[in-house]
Amino acid sequence: MRRAQLRFADLIPTSAAALLITLSVSGPVLSQDRAAGPWWPHPIWGATDEAGSSNWITPELVLRAAQLVETGKVYELGQVYEHGMPLFGQRTYTMTIPGSPSGGPVGENQLVWHDEFLCGEIGQIGTQLDGPGHIGTRMRMADGTETEVFYNGFPLSEVAGTYGLNKLGIENIKPIFTRGILIDIAGAKGVDVLDHAYEVTVADVREALQRQGMEESDLAP
């Protein structure tokens, strides 16, 4: 699956290539330091950027996306967080209602209410959006030391924080309102739902685009 994900870059035209962040893990590179490395500083957003591809979501792009709305129909793509939902590895998720009602009655109108108690992890459960500080790679620097390096060359020493990342946290991602392109792989295969273990390939994506009367250039921002 990882191979297919990396090869997906073959579909992206030159104008959209800057959307991709590639972390080289083929081996140590001895020439990099904090100021410059094989994939930093970012050639468009600069050395201090923490927002990544969300920088593309400009007011002009938001207006163009809004003009594409025709019916106003909403499709729910998020997975419901619920008891017994599939979880990755040893992660946990539990939500309970502490008492029913949880509080009250109070006041002249005898107000009562329900609260929620949540215990679990937010990574790799349900629907999520990873921040730019989620994935890094261990690299050897020019001075011979080794450190974990994240998006735009930020080293672990600048990123790590016990109560949240000091750099590259999800709060740096700008609000996302843009057009979305549905690539119907299942439809191209003539099924309603793909098998849970089916590996989507670049060839599958191209087949679906052709079926939909689209070209790879249609994926440009």
Is the pLDDT at 184 greater than 70? The verdict is: yes
**72 found inside a domain:** yes
Residue 5 host element (H or E): helix 2-7
Considering the domain architecture, whether residues 71 and 174 belong to the same structural domain is answered as yes
Considering the domain architecture, whether residues 108 and 139 belong to the same structural domain is answered as no
**148 found inside a domain:** yes
Question: What's the average model confidence in pLDDT over 90-101?
Answer: 93
* DSSP, res 46: B
pLDDT in tens, 126-146: 888 899 999 999 999 988 999
Question: What's the average model confidence in pLDDT over 90-104?
Answer: 93
Considering the domain architecture, whether residues 135 and 116 belong to the same structural domain is answered as no
Question: What's the average model confidence in pLDDT over 95-108?
Answer: 95
pLDDT in tens, 5-55: 333 333 333 333 333 444 444 444 456 888 999 999 999 999 999 999 999
C-beta separation of 182 from 146 below 8 A: no
Is the pLDDT at 4 greater than 70? The verdict is: no
Question: pTM for this one?
Answer: 0.74
| Structural domain total, the chain | 3
**143 found inside a domain:** yes
Considering the domain architecture, whether residues 134 and 59 belong to the same structural domain is answered as yes
Structural domain for 117, as ranges: 80-122
Q: Cβ contacts of residue 128 below 8 Å, gap of 6+?
A: 122
Give the SS3 label for residue 212: coil
Considering the domain architecture, whether residues 139 and 167 belong to the same structural domain is answered as yes
Considering the domain architecture, whether residues 112 and 203 belong to the same structural domain is answered as no
Considering the domain architecture, whether residues 35 and 140 belong to the same structural domain is answered as yes
